[in-house]
Amino acid sequence: MEIGPFSKKGDPVSFGQDNNNGGGQAGGTDAQAADSKTLMPTGPAAQFKNANTLSDGTEIGVVTITGKKSGFTGKVWVWAPKQYKDPKYAKSGFPVMIALPGGPGYPNNYWMGTDLNLQSSISKWSQEGKSLPFILAMPILNPDDKHYYDGSDIPNQPKMGTWLSEDVPDLIKQNFRTLKSRDGWCFMGSSSGGFAGFKAVLKHPDKFKAVIASGPDIVPDSPLWNGHEKEKQENNPQKLAQHLIDTKGPDVYIAFQVGTAEPPIVMSQVKQFQAQYGKGPVHTMLREIPGGKHNAKTYVPNMGEGLIQYISQHMEGPTPSS
């Protein structure tokens, strides 16, 4: 499928919006949702192009958007599981996982490649009953490869926090059948992307319910915060968690994983966060990966060892019509 004239790369990807089985076309059919939990695509439809094709025929599409709320222009890769086109789910909303990379996260999001097996693993786990059939949204994390922006709206910088927590979800709502409540929205990320997703769930618990954070930073550390200590603390997961504890909710679910071969400070900081803030509405779990290193190839297979099950059991999935 990916060789010579048989490659689909660059071809339009519809993700089924233009079907005739009631699935709903972004931007304007009158298809009805199966239940009150489902949000049908609101439109306008984005022009996704094929970036990769999996062995099961599902496609990873990519589009460049300018976020209406952040004003930032960047790429977003999207994948929908095979169940999305199954007629029995044609009017049902699907949960969404926003997958964030580590490192620069620019100009690509490394989860969009098929080499790390994120999409194929979600497919396998959903068929085994371990995982919900998540739609994956994979945006770029930073606006350049010079700085890390902590997935935040740092003063006088591109609004990467708004990009990740507002504009990317809006793109998915415009083009896919999703779930109205936060029970259908989560993050996954590794390293710096783990921090960004972890922080987003704590900062916006009204919008997101869970996160898988692999080898994450625990506190914001971008040098771009210099001179903006107040705003930095407003994006500090420790402060955000304490606020959730003080206000008694809503409940969030944080699944950490750290390899035992990672720098010891990563494990110690995660355990310290758990001990101090993993209480009340802040629910946490930690998988220690024996011999695991600080890289995505370690993290993906180990997500299936309890983490994907943990967040899935606290989230909503699609409702079959039969």
What confidence score (pLDDT) does residue 30 get? 47
Taking residue 98's Cβ as centre, other Cβ atoms within 10 Å add up to 27
Q: What is the pLDDT along the chain (322 residues), one digit of tens a residue?
A: 444 445 688 999 988 654 433 344 444 444 688 789 999 999 999 999 999 999 999 999 999 999 999 999 999 999 999 999 999 999 999 999 999 999 999 999 999 999 999 999 999 999 999 999 999 999 999 999 999 999 999 999 999 999 999 999 999 999 999 999 999 999 999 999 999 999 999 999 999 999 999 999 999 999 999 999 999 999 999 999 999 999 999 999 999 999 999 999 999 999 999 999 999 999 999 999 999 999 999 999 999 999 999 999 999 999 988 6
Q: Measuring CA to CA, how many Å separate 278 from each of 7, 184, 189?
A: 48, 22, 19
250 half-sphere exposure, CB direction, 13 A CA radius: 13
* pLDDT for res 29: 44
**Do residues 35 and 319 make contact, with C-beta atoms less than 8 angstroms apart?**
yes
Handedness of CA 106, 62, 165, 109 (dihedral sign): negative
If you count them, how many residues does the chain have?
Answer: 322
* pLDDT value, residue 322: 60
Nearest to 58 by CA among 26, 24, 83, 81: 81
Pairing of strands 59-66, 49-53: antiparallel
Look at residue 164 in the predicted model and tell me its pLDDT.
98
Q: How far is it, in rounded angstroms, from Cα 163 to Cα 106?
A: 14
Candidates 313, 288, 308; CA nearest to 298 is 288
pLDDT at 5: 47
Q: What is the pTM of this model?
A: 0.94
CA distance 233 to 225: 10
* C-alpha atoms less than 13 angstroms from C-alpha of 19 in its C-beta half-sphere: 19
Specify the pLDDT at position 31: 67
